[in-house]
Chain A
Amino acid sequence: MLNIFRMDLHRFITNKIMYILLLVFCAFQIFGIFMFKQYAQPIQAGGIDISKMNESEFIQHLFSQPPSWILIYIFVFCVYFYFSEYNSGFYKNYITMKKARVYSVVSKILVQAIFTVFMMVAMVVSDLIGRGIFFDNTSIGDLGYFAKLLIGLFLLLWAFSILILCTSIFTRSMLVSFGIALVLVLNVVGMIFAVLESLLDNVYLSQYLLVSTIYSTFDYNHVRDLIHIASVATVTLLLFAFIAIRLKIKEDLR
């Protein structure tokens, strides 16, 4: 298990696409903050001026406006990382090793966790740079709240990346995976659920969908909100990790 993870990690670290994605993301994040400044006058969220927001509020404000760029970068990386191995047939060189199918999926899941952390670090750093330059505001706010926000977001984004991995294994097509990922990022499923819910009384399933949860604003000081986030992330993470492993075990490889 550890050896296959080390191999994937080596490939991940020496992968130029990953660094390019992070750099492009940082550049666009800073550019986005510049655009906020340009059109700042009427922009207010929850009664707070964007330029006065601390980092926690700013992050939540960004995530409340779908589609989220960070989700797009995560799905591009996940699909690319999986299919670069699958389409080249490189897996054939090691998949006959004992339990290699299971370890290969677990290894991808761990690499995606690392990439998600990298993305979050890039987001926070570029936010601080952008807000520092254009709003002269680098405040983070309450550190405890900020830490809870980052941990919650990490779990949700990691669960999203596992959902994308599962989709990739299932579809076996890079293009189809990109298409499905885009539909997920646009939260089309959440919107369809919301429409169906409006036809029924007292049904609130859509708020428990992963992408809807990512796009919702929560109070990380409330235990109920924390439980909501932790349960959605954990259930999605475990469910799709399990499905991905089962699919890989059953898969007839090319």
Chain B
Amino acid sequence: MTSTIIEVRQLTKKFKAKTAVYNVDFKIARGEIFGLIGQNGAGKSTLLKMIGGLIHSTSGEIYFFDRSESKDQSFFERMGLLIENPGLYPQYTAYKTLQLLAIAYGLKSPNQYIIHLLRLVGLDASDKTKVKNYSMGMKQKLGIAIALLGSPDVLILDEPINGLDPQGIVEMRKLILELNKTGLTIIISSHILEELSKIATTYAIIHKGKIIEVISKDDLLLKCEERIELEVDHVEKVLPVLEQQLNISNYRVIDQQNVHIYDSHIENHQIVHLLARNQKLVHSIVKYKMSLEQYFLELTKSAGELHA
């Protein structure tokens, strides 16, 4: 059984007249990679900053291990943050940056640990290059090393692949998956769905400050999978025919009239021909395929219409 590590209840953030995040609710299970998807300005960073303890909510609560943050702020220190750009002194080397933070964390003899962290993210501890001369990818990696310094339970990554080249994106993805394998819960935001779909196990779609859907990876794939949507008089009478004569096995009954068929070897005309031959009435038959991007766009569009 997976335990809830973070729960957000009715979380709202207002900046003067603007509501950046409105009545947000969701739960994050331990060991999950929780993907936060939304357009630019949707409220992703604001939401992550509230979870990370950088900004205060206007109303609502954040619970860590079933305890409210308003009662015990110490839970924030169990978070590793990489929000927007990593906070780095340009004149320091990667090693010196971590060394400075190790003092703040009160780590005794941190040298080996720093070398281990830098190696983990793919940086060289003996490199004397100053941070100001780092590429975007190197800065992001150092940002993750910094976030891991305090041995957090939760790693919050806000748009970590922004500005990275394809090679950098692949490396970052690999690193995130490796970190997750160690049991670390990861919250990651992005507006690049394709990339997020390769790593996240649960998705929360945020639009204009509201969470419009929280969906598991399996459910999302099911929704986006190629399928034939068939509407007939009685599904229970049609299914045996399809199973026996077209070898259909992968399907989902929606209601008494509708069934979704996921077997990719079947074509529409085969079904129509078969059902006509068996004197079964077909109301409609549609081949359906939706990309993640389309799914997201449709969802945000319908949410936009609801707002309007």
Chain A residues at the B interface, C-beta cutoff of 8 Å: 3-4, 6-7, 10-11, 84, 88-100, 250, 252-254
Contact of B146 among A7, A93, A95, A250 (CB under 8 A): A93
Distance from B283 Cβ to chain A, minimum over Cβ atoms (Å): 55
Distance from A60 Cβ to chain B, minimum over Cβ atoms (Å): 39
Q: How far is the CA of A91 from the CA of B49 in the complex (A)?
A: 13
Q: How far is the CA of A3 from the CA of B107 in the complex (A)?
A: 9
What string of 1s and 0s marks CB contacts (under 8 Å) between B156-185 and chain A? 000000000000000000000000000000
Using known A-B contacts A89-B86, A90-B89, determine if residue A7 contacts B77 with beta carbons closer than 8 Å. Answer: no
| A107 to chain B: closest residue by CB | B104
A252 touches B55 (CB 8 A): yes
A96 touches B81 (CB 8 A): yes
B103 touches A88 (CB 8 A): no
| A91 to chain B: closest residue by CB | B87
Chain B residues at the A interface, C-beta cutoff of 8 Å: 49, 52-56, 73-74, 76-77, 79, 81, 83-90, 100-101, 103-106, 146-147, 149-150
Contact of A90 among B73, B74, B88 (CB under 8 A): B88
| Chain B residues with CB under 8 A of A90 | 87-89
Q: How far is the CA of A89 from the CA of B49 in the complex (A)?
A: 13
Task: Tally inter-chain residue pairs, CB-CB below 8 A.
Answer: 73
Interface residue SS majority, chain A: helix
Q: How far is the CA of A98 from the CA of B103 in the complex (A)?
A: 15
Using known A-B contacts A90-B87, A90-B89, determine if residue A95 contacts B53 with beta carbons closer than 8 Å. Answer: yes
B54 touches A88 (CB 8 A): no
| Chain B residues with CB under 8 A of A88 | 87-90
Using known A-B contacts A3-B104, A7-B100, A11-B100, determine if residue A96 contacts B89 with beta carbons closer than 8 Å. Answer: no
B54 touches A252 (CB 8 A): yes
B104 touches A97 (CB 8 A): yes
| Chain A residues with CB under 8 A of B103 | 3, 6-7, 10
Using known A-B contacts A3-B105, A97-B105, A252-B55, determine if residue A92 contacts B87 with beta carbons closer than 8 Å. Answer: yes
Q: How far is the CA of A95 from the CA of B53 in the complex (A)?
A: 8
| A94 to chain B: closest residue by CB | B104
Max count, chain B CB within 10 A of own CB: residue among A10, A96, A253: A96
Distance from B156 Cβ to chain A, minimum over Cβ atoms (Å): 10
Distance from A150 Cβ to chain B, minimum over Cβ atoms (Å): 31
A96 touches B77 (CB 8 A): yes
| Chain B residues with CB under 8 A of A97 | 76-77, 104-105, 150
| Chain B residues with CB under 8 A of A92 | 54, 81, 83, 87
| Chain A residues with CB under 8 A of B150 | 97
| Chain A residues with CB under 8 A of B86 | 89
| Chain B residues with CB under 8 A of A95 | 53-54
| Chain B residues with CB under 8 A of A3 | 103-106
